[in-house]
């Protein structure tokens, strides 16, 4: 009788232990299943994140390439603008300002008498041309006369009672302005014919005046229309 009770007790204890082990097994399997589920969920998430990072990297590289192209385009545009401005400066197509000199020439207020030559009392086109040459030789960077910019196309010739410059009729006084080193310009003028004009001033009363300017303004020249000349094509 006592043995039967002991066996029953052992049987009950064994049942309890088996039940406990079964519960632990179920929890362990559930935990393992959760880990597997989390792993299965995490893998696609990591793949998606990597794909997004690759796309961002690709976009950044494309943006950098566009910025580089833009910067290169801006540099080329800036260089072209600088070259255009230099060409316009050399051609005298841009108004400029700077230190320089001003020369004023005017006909004499005294009339010829007796055997005096009336033309000696007038300012002639060769006087103006000589002054231009003197100024260029003195390093002038820009020259104008009566508001007319002197360029490679500027003509100076006598038209009777007037002097034609750039296709315009100019009457005295003739005011010539030049930008450059004032000392060099003044020296060049004295070396090339300035004293001769001084003699004419004393003899006939013409006006010959030289002034040094801290700031002279030279207007822009005018473009010339080309009807026959054209650029030479490469390879011809």
Least confident of 50-59, 111-120, 121-130, 209-218: 50-59
For a pLDDT cut of 90, what percent of the chain falls above it?
45
What's residue 234's pLDDT?
80
Burial profile 8-42: b = 16 or more Cβ within 10 angstroms, e = fewer? eeeeeeeeeeeeeeeeeeeeeeeeeeeeeeeeeee
Of 168, 177, 93, 185, residue with least CA distance to 128: 177
Per-residue pLDDT tens over the stretch 82-96: 777 777 888 889 999
* Res 64: pLDDT: 77
Of residues 116 and 99, more confidently modeled: 99
Domain map of the chain by residue range? 1-91, 96-218
Residues 6+ apart with CB under 8 A from 85: 94
Share of the chain above pLDDT 70, in %: 73
Residue pLDDT, tens place only, 37-71:
444 555 556 566 666 667 777 777 777 777 777 66
| CATH level 3 topology of 96-218 | Alpha-Beta Plaits (3.30.70)
Joined tokens for residue 70: 């833009």
The pLDDT, as a whole number, for residue 201 is: 94
Q: Please list the alpha-helical segments (H only) found in the chain.
A: 2-91, 125-137, 182-191, 194-204
Give the DSSP per-residue string, 86-123.
Answer: HHHHHHT-S-EEEEEEEEEEE--SSPP-TT--GGGGS-
Q: To 10 degrees, the CA torsion angle through 121, 192, 125, 178?
A: -110
Half-sphere exposure of 3 (CA within 13 A, CB side): 0
Distances (CA, A) of 116 to 109, 120, 126, 196: 14, 8, 20, 18
Residue-wise pLDDT for 133-184, tens only, equals 999 999 999 999 999 999 988 999 998 889 999 999 999 999 999 999 999 9
pLDDT band at 217 (very low <50, low <70, confident <90, very high): very high
- What's the CA gap between 137 and 188, in Å, rounded? 7
Residue recorded with tokens 């004023």: 104
pTM, two decimals, is 0.66
**Residue 104 forms beta bridges with which residues?**
175, 209
Question: Cis omega (within 30 of 0) on the bond before 225?
Answer: no
- Cβ pair 197, 101 in contact under 8 A: no
């Amino acid at each position: 009788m006592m043995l039967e009770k002991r066996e029953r007790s052992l049987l009950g204890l064994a049942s309890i232990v088996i039940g406990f082990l079964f519960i632990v097994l179920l929890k362990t399997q559930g935990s393992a299943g959760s880990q597997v589920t989390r792993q299965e969920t995490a893998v696609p998430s990591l793949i998606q994140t990597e794909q997004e990072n690759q796309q961002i990297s690709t976009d950044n590289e494309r943006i950098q390439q566009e910025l580089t192209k833009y910067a290169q385009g801006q540099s080329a545009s800036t260089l072209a603008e600088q070259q255009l401005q230099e060409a316009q400066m050399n051609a005298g197509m841009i108004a400029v300002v700077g230190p320089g000199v001003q020369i004023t020439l005017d006909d004499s207020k005294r009339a010829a008498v007796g055997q005096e030559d009336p033309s000696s009392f007038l300012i002639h086109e060769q006087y103006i041309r000589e002054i231009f040459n003197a100024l260029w030789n003195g390093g002038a960077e820009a020259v104008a006369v009566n508001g007319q910019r002197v360029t490679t196309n500027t003509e100076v010739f006598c038209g009777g009672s007037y002097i034609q410059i750039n296709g315009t009729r100019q009457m005295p006084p003739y005011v010539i302005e030049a930008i450059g080193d004032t000392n060099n310009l003044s020296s060049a003028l004295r070396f090339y014919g300035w004293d001769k004009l001084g003699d004419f001033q004393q003899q006939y009363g013409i006006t010959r005046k030289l002034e040094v300017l801290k700031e002279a303004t030279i207007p822009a020249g005018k473009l010339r229309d080309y009807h026959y000349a054209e650029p030479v094509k490469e390879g011809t």
